[in-house]
Amino acid sequence: MKTPTPSLILKILVFSLALLLVLPGALYTREGGEREKLRVVVISIDAIRFDHLKMLVDEGKLPNIARLMSSGVYAEMIVVFPTATAVSHAAISTGAPPGVNGIVGNAIHLPGMPVNSTVSGFSGYNLVAEPIWMAADKQGLKTIVVSFPQSTPPAWSVTENTILFNIYDAWAEFTKSALYTTNESIPRGTYIEFTEATDWLNVEKVLGSVKVALESNITICKTTWHLYLADIEGDGKYDKLAIAPEKDLEKAYAILSEGEWSKPINTTITCENVEYTIAPLFKAVKLNPEDFRLYRGTTRPFEAKWYNNFTVAWDVWNNVIVKTGTFTDGDYVGLVNEWFDVETYMETVNYTNRLFAEWTVYMIKNYEWDLILTYTPVIDNVYHQFLGLADPTMPYSDNETAQYYWELIVRTYEMVDEFVGMVLESVPEDTVVILISDHGQVPIKRIVYINGILYNKDYIGVIRVGEQFGLDLNKTKVYAPWHVHIFVNLEGREEGGIVKQEEYETLVEEVAQLLRNYRDPDTGEPVFDLVLTRREAWILGLTGNGTGDIIYALKPGYTSSTALKIDPDTGLAVEVGGVTPLKTVTGDHGPHLPHYKEMRAVFIASGPGISGGYLGVVSSLQVAPTIASLLGIEPPQDAELAPIIVPAIREVTLTETIVETTTAIETTTVTETTTITDTITETITTTTTETETRVEYGPLTAGVILALVAGFAVGYVAKAKDLITALMRMVSKPPKRAR
């Protein structure tokens, strides 16, 4: 059999995904027809891979997640494309594909913008479909969103029953982490100098006799704090560092030994005539005056639009954040710039997980709720930095290196397991706990510089100033502002667009063909898994103004960058480059199709009436309908699939058998009680004729099978010649539903 053409693969994908779009909805009920109403806590753990999770559970390393799985149901979950955090969470919360909900990327280019400009896919302002928290709110349920992409509080101002947070929106000019250092060679450090300490009060009272002391200061926006560095014995080894608002050790915010973290420093600072409340964490990385390093972690202020209820937010600040600090991601900036070592990076990961875990438990225990949604990014954080290093087949790793970094990944899974355990110990008995992830990650060996490919073929223009190059939009025909999407700089659509409408089709096909034929210059390998035009991209759920004119997916092992790296000597741009561990990502997601095992997410649910174990494969578009069915409400208005059935216990089943011949139909109806494994039952209708047997599955089975079909369509297309011939006749036109 010949290798399938791209158009053939396209048609198979059309069929597979179209099946998912027409999957009917249904609900299981208790005997007597009453819907089971429960409370629900949803924990989204960014980037958990099903295969890694299952392996660690089987090894006994994740007891709390194992408890969830053994007492409930679990499945591999196929997510939407692009396999990116903002995109996937929007699909999860709305039940609608990217083209319907508007979130087609972590960054989104829209008409009216310059071709290189985007808006944030994490912003709720750009989510045009109804999320589950709004569906619950308008139906009278109390919802708390601790953190979830697109939960931007001001974007959902018309809420009566919902407490919204999104601490990622707590931003000021001082929010980014900082390293205060005497070492001018450290990238992106803030340089300080020490001099002899003078006029300090209460030194002996706090530290005793100090033989040698130095002083300096640091500034956070317009506020200055003082540093006191003490060599207590006068032996050249500096023992203590004090951070103080004035030269008085009794008033010091923290007194640290080398390698020690402060507690969150809950105080106020002034910036641009505004007073901000902050609670940063500091670490005394090195106290040697020749290579002094004081690290300040991510500093998010209270005074920002990251909540919709001031009183509740202030309560959270004073009972959670003052204990945990405001790390919201492991600090890769400090890692890649060598401010600190890998172990310190892991400490920032732990602080991040602790913030979201403590916050979630506090809301569970202290507020009324029917639904809670929460999130932690930590698996995603460590995968980006370490996943390739943990794979000995990567060109920059080996067995010893891989073992070390795999242990760090396992440690992070154990942090998440602690989070889950804290939730399980806190929720009432009438609660279903759902654990999901938004995608997986693949190890990366090579980086594709997509705009470099376009530049070298004269599709992108630049302006050169010395050794630097800037984008010249007046000479740029196409550009990729983010992964996956490439846009034509179209006259009348893009601000300053230069490509005329009559040139559009030819240009799009030229670029698409360029990428389809492209090979890694160093290895000769094809790097693109799939290249589609906007007209074809609807089969992946990508429609609407934010969808690129050309869409691409990369093969595992590759990721993409939109950076344009031009050699000033040759004038050529880098097209494909290598990975530099702890400088570039070694694991990634986004431009990868979701059917690969490395990209499969996880769905786990446990609570009253839920049992059954492994379900197979489900779709992330089923999560919002599932939450709604458990809460006893209608799903979000744009949701497209049936729930993943996690029913209350019941034992009544109606089975109808129809026997058909060519001359007559004889119908026999049999009513009986059938109990499926672990008390889950299904209604099955079987029709038998002389030539075929047709089975209509209940929604659980149908959802699993159809999600499986969608996920594996590409992988199995070459094995089913007769099926392909039949399916091609069924998919000549796209569905009308897409906006």
Domains detected in the chain: 39-168+596-631 (3.40.720.10), 171-303 (no CATH), 446-578 (3.30.1360)
Region of 632 (left: φ > 0; alpha: ψ -120 to 50; beta: rest) is left
Residue pair 250/201 in contact (Cβ under 8 Å)? The answer is: yes
Residue 159's pLDDT is what? Answer: 86
Residue 662's pLDDT is what? Answer: 32
How remote is the C-alpha of 554 from its chain's centroid?
18
Query: Which residues of the chain register pLDDT less than 50?
Result: 1-8, 10-12, 14-33, 646-739
Q: How would you list the strands of the sheet with 293-296, edge to edge?
A: 190-191, 178-181, 293-296, 282-286
Residue pair 568/554 in contact (Cβ under 8 Å)? The answer is: no
CA distance 604 to 588: 23
Q: Which helix (H) or strand (E) holds 133?
A: helix 132-138
Residue pair 87/636 in contact (Cβ under 8 Å)? The answer is: no
* Token pair of 703 as six digits: 């959802």
Q: Helix/strand/coil (H, E, C) string of 95-123?
A: CCCHHHHCCCCCEECCCCCCCCCCEECCC
DSSP 239-272: -EEEEESSSBGGG-SEEE-TTPBPPP--EEEEET
Residue pair 609/632 in contact (Cβ under 8 Å)? The answer is: no
Q: For residue 243, report the phi and psi dihedrals to the nearest 5 degrees.
A: -115, 120
Residue 645's pLDDT is what? Answer: 65
Quote the DSSP letter at residue 711: H
How many CB atoms are located within 10 Å of the residue 9 CB?
Answer: 19
Quote the DSSP letter at residue 232: S
Quote the DSSP letter at residue 569: T
Residue 409's pLDDT is what? Answer: 99
N- to C-terminal Cα distance for the chain? 38
557-581: b (≥16 Cβ within 10 Å) or e: bbbbbbebebeeeeeebbbbbebeb
How remote is the C-alpha of 333 from its chain's centroid?
18
Which amino acid, one-letter code, is at 511?
V
Residue 427's pLDDT is what? Answer: 99
By C-alpha distance, which of 147, 255, 155, 273 is closest to 202? 255
493-495-499 Cα angle (round to 5):
60
By C-alpha distance, which of 590, 569, 390 is closest to 485? 590
Residue 37's pLDDT is what? Answer: 75
